[in-house]
Structure 1
Amino acid sequence: MQQTSTLKRVIRALSPLPWIGPAVVLIGVVVVWPVVTMIQSSFLKISRFGVTQGSNGLDNYTKLFDEPDFGGVMFRSLVWVVAVVTLTVLISLALAQLFNQRFPGRRIARWAMIAPWAASVLMTAIIFKWMLDPEVGLINMILHDLGLLDALGGVDADPLGRASTAMPWLVAVAVFVSLPFTTYALLAGLATIPVDVYEAARMDGASRPRIYWSITLPLLRPALTVATLINVMNVFNSFPIIWAMTHGQPGYSTATSTIFMYILKGTDIGESAAMSVVNFGMVIVLVAIFLRVSKWKTEVS
């Protein structure tokens, strides 16, 4: 009798396996296995042709931390993430609030918003690079016609050739391609807020700013948390925009940790793997800090 009861409990415990099993296998193959391989590779000596030449201990990490550009790259990566995510969320909040209102052409405006998201990120970056060409770029031509080019360095000004102007343009392009997803995520959050809550607040005499800060933002927090979290991970690991527009140049002045990792791969795969581990660790730390600060488990009262 006891064996039958134990068997039933085992069957009951394993009953979800056919449903979650494929997802667990997919996560193991796509996520866990590459991470384990990445960590193992960071302790190996690997030739530039991919041939493993034995253990290298902590030498890959020592060499990485001794790189003169390592500190600047990591600091720039943090600035890159904070700037892009902050601007994306703030602009998306305004756009979501706008698209949540009824106005003529709202459906067309919403469809147009999808365009930067639907297009290839690499293609978008290349188009912006062409528009910023110092000789025939559309943006430079407009700035010239407006008389603003002289203030930016004259006719030969190359917005992507100087660190002072290249990084702001990279941030602008990253925000441009990040807006659609974030805006639609916040729109979905706005759609879940009951209309009755707004009506009750108006009956109590609450002003629009008061309603927004005391009702809309708190009830929008779950959608805002998810959108921000995904943006942090995507932006930190962003590669096509910077690589297509500047290759991290001049020098390493526009390189983030992902670009630096790719450049290192050309000379030392083991050191590049160590950079990958550091990059992965920083993403985990950033996500943990964000979840801690956002108090995502706290119920909205």
Structure 2
Amino acid sequence: MSSEHADGRRPDPATDGRRPDPATEAFVAHRNLLFTVAYEMLGSAVDAEDVLQETWLRWAGVDLAAVRDRRAYLVRITTRQALGRLRTIGRRKESYVGPWLPEPLLTSPDVAEQVELADSVSMAMMMVLETLGPIERAVFVLREVFGLGYEEIAEAVDKTPVAVRQIAHRARAHVAARRPRGAVSADEARTAIAAFQRAVETGDLQQLLDLLAPDVVALSDGGGIKQAMPRPTVGAGPVGRLLAAGVAVWGPLGTCEPAQVNGHPALILRVDGEIDLVVAMRIDEGLITGIYSVRNPEKLTHMERETPLSL
């Protein structure tokens, strides 16, 4: 199989249209899983797609007769490529303007129905994963989310199984101390989103303000392209004033609609029909503890169509 189209674009074997060979069949069968692995490691759908292309190029040259477990082999390639890409993203973040938030994904209702998958890709969990080092993040994702054995993970991250076990223990404790407290019910999430939508559409913020936790944190990612808060806003009072100012601007200008983003209810705000802002929330014990607003247009390219995810 050629590695490039005539116009120089690299092919995606999942959509290339030609009759698949065994290597292509295996890749296509696990494509959604590989994308999910890469996305959870990187927090960027654009970079995850690039990692999948790199994975395909390497997989296409593998002798399948020597591969015992094709799924594990593909995950290993994807993990190694994602670890390399993390270094690039790290350099990019150093010069990033304002807070950096994960790239939101429009997801289908079936992702929300898979509680483990939805929790692992939620914006709240993706923010927690951002606090891990690259190897810790890879080990946590592969072990806790995808259930890989320590030996498989060791091969993927070039560590011994004993070292991987220790890294997994540290990462698990780190995440447990920072992840949302308790499972968030769908009703709680919908109530919070409905309160936000009501505030934008009517100017009545009271229901939304009543849901703010005392230590709520609001983050806004414009990437230096769109206007956004240059730093986090902390506390119910400051966040409430910020929301009031935002609603005063957005109410007359935009329209808003609920959507499933990263497996959970969220809100899409449009201006002149174009997506201008995506708002996701973290909810702990019925109160909003995190508000994540993404305005950077480079991070909204996966919001016009659903992105399939898989464990």
State the TM-score, normalizing by the size of structure 2.
0.22
Specify which structure has the higher proportion of strand. 2
Larger Cα-atom Rg: 1
Specify which structure has the higher proportion of helix. 1
For CA contacts below 8 A with separation 6 or more, give which structure has more relative contact order.
Answer: 1
State the TM-score, normalizing by the size of structure 1.
0.23
